[in-house]
């Protein structure tokens, strides 16, 4: 606790207890950049922040200094502490660690790290990308895109807090291999026939609910399964964002699987019990690979069952707002970009409907086409 330095910039850190009128207490650990390389000024800003909190002029989660009191636009390095403090409060621990790792690599590029946020644009972003690609450690495209997504979220937050007038557009690099495979119904039948009994049940729930495997499906607890309601549903109590908290209705097939597993649960609080410290299933990787081999299918990540669910929902005519809610996305744009992949049979069926539409409405016969034989 107290003052410390990151590079040339002073930071401060302290604990604060917020007392509510009803007697409740909330405990916070605040960590902020003082936005100065002068220790005396940093100490004064630390004291001013404490005074503002004690007097109730700001909330512990509010940015500090207040936007109207900022002296100039902070650099990326200076603002990074506020960004990390924000994501630690508003995302789960693994997501915050991901952002922290990405941001650490971004800040290693001094030209970008020392740039004021208002001066970050295409030229500086291209410089960062070129620098990352030139490194000899075999940097993957997905790693660079993860860093660009982190930078995009930081800049959007700065714009939301009015630190900058607007956030620049940050494009990811094309060509990244994503988990976008959509499993056909025929492939699904082959997979389920080749899978072990336990894997078959996990895969059915993945395909019929779209739950994220590692964070939502594998740790699903019986206390969040509601089979007697109409419609029956599972409740996702936590996830990678606040939008992930949701109720997901169950298909007839998924409800049947859960009824069977409830009878075999043997007192475990989890639908898919596991032997490890967590108490629940944590991976199906080996069983999944064996099933793919026995079924003679091209390999695909288990996560693709989530993409398959989303695409089937879209092809059935479900609107994008409902689908985004089912998937736990903050915006339908996320759903459209990453999860909906219209299949060729659906395109063909759609064009057939278009032909029927034209046949019912076009006036006049199809004109005869004549050809001259040379």
| Domain presence at residue 16 | yes
- Tell whether 202 and 260 lie within a shared domain: yes
- Tell whether 43 and 190 lie within a shared domain: no
| Domain presence at residue 318 | yes
- Tell whether 266 and 316 lie within a shared domain: yes
Q: Identify the CATH number of the domain in which residue 68 sits.
A: 1.10.150.130
| Domain presence at residue 351 | no
CB-side exposure of 169: number of CA atoms within 13 Å? 2
- Tell whether 11 and 111 lie within a shared domain: yes
- Tell whether 244 and 291 lie within a shared domain: yes
Q: Identify the CATH number of the domain in which residue 265 sits.
A: 1.10.443.10
| Domain presence at residue 262 | yes
Report how far residue 132's alpha carbon sits from residue 18's, in angstroms, rounded to the nearest whole number.
43
- Write down the residue that tokens 């695409």 correspond to: 311
| Domain presence at residue 111 | yes
For 45-59, how does the pLDDT look when each residue is reduced to its tens digit (9 = 90+)?
A: 888 888 888 877 778
pTM for the structure as a whole: 0.53
Peptide bond into 156 cis (omega under 30): no
Q: What is the pLDDT of residue 87?
A: 83
- Tell whether 190 and 64 lie within a shared domain: no
- Tell whether 123 and 16 lie within a shared domain: yes
- Tell whether 124 and 238 lie within a shared domain: no
Mean pLDDT of all residues belonging to the chain: 83
In the chain, the number of structural domains is 2
Residue 271 predicted with pLDDT over 70:
yes
- Tell whether 125 and 211 lie within a shared domain: no
| Domain presence at residue 241 | yes
Residue 340 predicted with pLDDT over 80:
no
Structure tokens at 160: 């939301």
Domain residues for the domain of 276 are: 185-346
Highest-confidence range of 8-12, 80-84, 241-245, 345-349, by mean pLDDT? 80-84
User: Edge-to-edge strands of the sheet including 25-33?
Assistant: 2-6, 9-19, 25-33
Residue 364 — left, alpha, or beta (φ > 0 → left; ψ -120 to 50 → alpha)? left
For 147-202, how does the pLDDT look when each residue is reduced to its tens digit (9 = 90+)?
A: 999 999 999 988 888 888 888 889 888 866 555 688 999 999 999 999 999 999 99
67 vs 29, higher pLDDT: 29
């Amino acid at each position: 606790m107290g003052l410390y330095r990151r590079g040339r910039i002073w930071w401060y850190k302290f604990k604060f207890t917020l007392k509510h009128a009803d007697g409740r207490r909330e405990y916070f650990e605040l960590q902020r950049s003082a936005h100065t390389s002068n220790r005396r000024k940093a100490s004064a800003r630390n004291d001013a922040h404490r005074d503002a909190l004690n007097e109730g002029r700001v909330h512990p989660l509010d940015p500090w200094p207040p936007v109207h009191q900022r002296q100039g636009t902070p650099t990326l390095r200076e603002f990074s502490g506020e960004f990390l403090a924000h994501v630690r409060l508003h995302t789960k621990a693994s997501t915050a660690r991901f952002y922290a790792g990405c941001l650490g690599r971004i800040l290693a590029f001094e030209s970008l790290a020392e740039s004021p946020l208002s001066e970050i644009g295409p030229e500086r972003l291209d410089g960062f990308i070129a620098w990352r690609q030139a490194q000899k450690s075999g940097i993957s495209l997905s790693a660079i895109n993860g860093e660009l997504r982190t930078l995009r979220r930081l800049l959007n937050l700065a714009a939301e807090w009015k630190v900058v007038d607007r956030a620049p557009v940050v494009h990811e690099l094309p060509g990244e291999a994503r988990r976008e495979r959509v499993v056909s119904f025929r492939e699904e039948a082959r997979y389920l026939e080749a899978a072990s009994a336990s894997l078959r049940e996990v895969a059915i729930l993945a395909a019929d609910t779209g739950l994220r495997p590692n964070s939502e499906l594998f740790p699903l607890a019986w206390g969040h399964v509601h089979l007697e309601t109409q419609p029956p549903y599972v409740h996702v109590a936590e996830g990678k964002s606040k939008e992930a908290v949701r109720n997901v209705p169950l298909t007839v097939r998924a409800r049947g699987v859960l009824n069977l597993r409830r009878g075999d649960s043997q007192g475990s609080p989890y639908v898919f019990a596991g032997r490890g410290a967590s108490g629940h299933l944590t991976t199906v990787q080996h069983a999944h690979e064996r099933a793919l081999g026995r079924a003679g299918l091209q390999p695909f990540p288990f996560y693709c069952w989530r993409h398959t669910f989303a695409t089937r929902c879209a092809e059935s005519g479900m609107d994008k707002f409902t689908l985004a809610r089912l998937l736990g996305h903050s915006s339908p744009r996320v759903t459209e970009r990453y999860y909906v992949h219209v299949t060729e049979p659906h395109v063909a069926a759609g064009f057939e409907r278009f032909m029927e539409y034209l046949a019912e409405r076009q006036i006049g016969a199809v004109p005869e086409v004549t050809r001259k034989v040379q």
